Structure 1
Amino acid sequence: MTDVVLHIYDVTNSGSDKTNNTIMHINKIFKDGIGIGGIFHSAVQVHGDDEWSFGFCEQGTGVFSCPATKNPMYTYREKIVLGQTSLSNSKVNQILRELSREWPGESYDLLARNCNHFCDELCERFGVPKLPGWVNRFANAGDAAAELAGNTAYRLKQAKTEIVSASKVAYRFLSGIATNSQVSPDNQNPNKTPPRFQVSWFKNMIAAGNKPSSSSVLEVPNQDVIRQQQQRQGEDDEPLRQNARRGS
């Protein structure tokens, strides 16, 4: 049986002392202070003096090794013994060769496929527990937030499409009612009261870009019909005004 050791580093390879100090401060507060996580690099050591991890490169595999605790790009923090594996050295090397093909450097993603995700899979292959949750919690939270944002954006887009479609249907329907209610010489019905709304009122509620590109309705309301509607409105309201004067 051989120990499987996880080595953890603070990510301090930004090239800016200010940024590196900020990351160290974040890790001190969120990991050392309240224990929920931070921004870390991880690597796994088993059978030998080297540790294995994963990173970005434009060509070839992203799997690499270096002397344990000696990665020059980061600041070493601590080690955790995850458990023991019964796998032989040759079997471990076989697994590393397989993962080297499955994890090309160009597939690296900070939130979804980083060094901590690689170490998780490596530990699973070795038959030991995965990384403690705090090691990759920030990436997991970021990945969940990105997925949520994407889903929300999609839902908003769908809702906007449905609203625009409904507006077009309502626009045609209501405009059709107004058009059909116009009094024509061929079909006069003095007992029929036209609907009390103007087509222009509903048109103003719909952005110009949302109007149907082709429609049988008039783009400009018939002014004679509008005047007739206003006149009838005034006649209908006159008894109310008289009653109001009597009551005052």
Structure 2
Amino acid sequence: MICGVIKRKKKTGSHPVYLNVYDITPMNGYAYWFGLGIYHSGVQVHGVEYAFGAHEYTTTGIFEVEPKRCPGFMFRKSILIGRTDLGPREVRTFMEKLSEEYAGNTYNLITKNCNHFCNDACLGLAGKSIPHWVNRLARLAEL
């Protein structure tokens, strides 16, 4: 009799990384079901949500809010993207490094919006991209 070795999946991290998705317009209630919509998103880890927004200055456009409560938007859903081993301080350091690429005056609805930021943050924290539907309209507009 040959004993098989059971391989266990490698644990990918201790702390969950969520993408919080918000409706920008009430039209999303209908458009969502057709795979369309205009969404704002933020990345939640360690009880803090990080997002990116526009302003006219060369300082960072990354900001922190209470999870699922970003002002000006209607919360739609939270999606578990993956897990990270980074602790709260390491996540903050990672966000500070990412902020060098995301100044408020570089925001662009088509090429560098909150969803682009969230994708970069999720790749760096959990090694996974955000779902394609979240930023679909920006990608379609690039065509």
TM above 0.5: yes
Partner SS state of residue 102, structure 1 = coil
Match of 1:58 in 2: 56
For 1:182-227, what per-residue CA distance to the aligned partner results, in whole angstroms no more than 9, with x for missing partners?
xxxxxxxxxxxxxxxxxxxxxxxxxxxxxxxxxxxxxxxxxxxxxx
For 1:164-187, what per-residue CA distance to the aligned partner results, in whole angstroms no more than 9, with x for missing partners?
xxxxxxxxxxxxxxxxxxxxxxxx
- The CA distance in 1 between the partners of 2:67 and 2:127, in whole Å, is 19
Q: Which of 4, 20, 35 is matched with 1:7 structurally? A: 20
* Alignment RMSD (CA, Å): 1.2
Match of 1:85 in 2: 84
For 1:87-138, what per-residue CA distance to the aligned partner results, in whole angstroms no more than 9, with x for missing partners?
2222211111111222100000000000000000001111332111110001
Partner SS state of residue 71, structure 1 = coil
- The CA distance in 1 between the partners of 2:83 and 2:38, in whole Å, is 26
Contact 1:107 1:113 in 2 (8 A): yes
Match of 1:24 in 2: 26
Partner SS state of residue 130, structure 1 = coil
Partner SS state of residue 68, structure 1 = coil
Contact 2:17 2:126 in 1 (8 A): no
- The CA distance in 1 between the partners of 2:82 and 2:126, in whole Å, is 9
Structure 1 position 24, deviation (Å): 1.6
For 1:59-83, what per-residue CA distance to the aligned partner results, in whole angstroms no more than 9, with x for missing partners?
1110101111111211111111111
Contact 2:15 2:85 in 1 (8 A): yes
Contact 2:18 2:82 in 1 (8 A): yes
- The CA distance in 1 between the partners of 2:67 and 2:114, in whole Å, is 15
4+ long deviations beyond 6 Å = none
Match of 2:5 in 1: none
Match of 2:132 in 1: 133
- The CA distance in 2 between the partners of 1:134 and 1:67, in whole Å, is 24
Q: Kindly indicate which of the two structures has a greater share of residues assigned to strand.
A: 2
Identity of aligned residues (%): 36
State which structure, 1 or 2, has the greater radius of gyration over its C-alpha atoms.
1
Contact 2:42 2:114 in 1 (8 A): yes
Contact 1:4 1:128 in 2 (8 A): no
For 1:36-70, what per-residue CA distance to the aligned partner results, in whole angstroms no more than 9, with x for missing partners?
121000000111x2200101011111010111111
Matches for 1:39-58 after TM superposition, within 5 Å = 39-47=38-46, 49-58=47-56
For these two proteins, the number of residue pairs brought into alignment is: 129
Match of 1:101 in 2: 100
Unpaired runs of at least 5, structure 1? 12-22, 145-248
Q: Kindly indicate which of the two structures has a greater share of residues assigned to helix.
A: 1
TM-score of the pair, normalised by structure 2: 0.85
- AA in 1 matched with 2:30: I
Contact 1:8 1:77 in 2 (8 A): yes
